[in-house]
Structures are given as C-alpha cells and as structure tokens.
Amino acid sequence: MNYQELREAAWEANASLPKAGLVKWAQGNASGRDPDSGLIGIKPSGVRLDQLKVEEIVIVDPDGNVVDGDMKPSIDTASHLYVYKHRDDIHGIVHTHSPYATSFAVRGEPIRMYTTTASALFGGEIPVSDFAAIGEEDIGKEIVAKIGAGSAILMRSHGVFTIGTSPYEALKYAIYVEEEAEIVHLALLRGELQALDQPFVDEARRMYLEDYGQ
C-alpha cells in the first residue's frame, strides 16, 4: 500500500465521522495501518473533519515519527500506536464523541446486549474503561486491556473507540455503537430491560461471522 492509498483509506473514515453524526467540528479521529509496511495514516491534530483534505492525513511510523506530511498528527496518536503494537490483527481505529454512546461512558455504564443486531456485531456487552489521560499511551492501554474479543469500548467520561481490520470496519462499528446506544437509551426511558442471554448472543455472533454477507 503506498502513501496515497493509506491516506485515502484513513481520510474516508475521518470524513465520514461528521456525516454520520458521530463528531462535531474537529473532534474525534480515525487511523489506518498498512499491513505490509506498518506505517499508519492518521488525522492531523485540530483540523475540522468536514474540511479535511486527503493530502493532510499524516503518515507516521510505528514509533510515531512523521515520515510524510506537513502537519502534526492527532493528539491520540500514541494511543493508536499502542493498540497497533499490541494487536497484530487490527488495522483501523476510530474515535468518536457520539452523544448517546458517550452518555453511557460518562455514567460509567457498559452497553449490554438487548438487540439481535448488537449481539451479532459485538458478541457481548460494550465495556467501559477506567479514566485515562489524553495525549499519551494511557487510552491505548485501556483499550488493549479491556476490549477483549470485542470491537468497541466506551472510554470513561470521554467517548468511544472502535477497532477493526481496516478503517472502514472500525467506522462501521462506531456507527453501530451509536445506533445501539440510542435504542437502549430510549428503551430504558420506558422501564427496566432484560438483556439477552449470552448463549443467544454467542449464536448471533457466530452467524454473523460465518454466514452474513457476501
């Protein structure tokens, strides 16, 4: 994968965040890792996502050194790199402040599995991290320690992080986390809910991984 391809993959995920209502202004970020070179394309710090240009995506090496680009990478770069270093299977990370999911993060409450869709996509409750400082590896350490076999985590009093085999897949999970959080929030307004049994959740997840799609 060359720099342009890496930039385009990361840019598409970043540009999609405000369109999907997952961030405002310059909030949030997305990155992608090239499986061959190990280089990472990530959003530049403080740039509005609705104005982000493909050429502004910063290319960094696994140690965070800028190898191509004129801008400073995201403040969350160290945490993205920590996840990539400890998860060989991950090649895309998305961070949002989507309102419904972040409301669960602020309350320190995981999102339990109440719908068949979430069961298939996530395979278990979406966990909540401990508090983590911004700007170093702390967030990345919480992700690696607590996300388990899942693809999403609520960062305590902060927002949402999702992971995937590509920036596109991580974006997909970020969109579905917010949808599920909104559904659960609205349902809880009408009373207590019964979470789905784990055997049902496991079977929904198996079906999704083995049978869903083309």
Looking up tokens 């930039």 gives: 7
Query: For residue 111, what are the CA distances in angstroms to 97, 115, 118, 186?
Result: 15, 11, 10, 13
Rg (the chain; Cα; Å)? 17
Average pLDDT over residues 208-214: 93
Averaged pLDDT score across all residues of the chain: 97
pTM beyond 0.95: the answer is yes
Could you tell me if 21 and 46 are in contact, meaning their C-beta atoms sit under 8 angstroms apart? Answer: no
Q: How much of the chain, in percent, has pLDDT values that exceed 90?
A: 99
Mean pLDDT, range 77-96, rounded to an integer? 98
Beta bridge partners of 141: none
- Work out the average pLDDT over 97-101: 98
Question: In this structure, what is the dihedral angle of CA atoms 194, 21, 97, 137, given to the nearest 10 degrees?
Answer: 110
The tens digit of pLDDT for each residue in 129-139 reads 999 999 899 99
Helix (H, G, I), strand (E, B) or coil at 68: strand
% of the chain at pLDDT higher than 70: 100
Is the confidence at residue 89, as pLDDT, over 90? yes
Please report where in the chains the tokens 């400073």 appear, as a residue: 72
Confidence of residue 1 (pLDDT cuts 50, 70, 90): confident
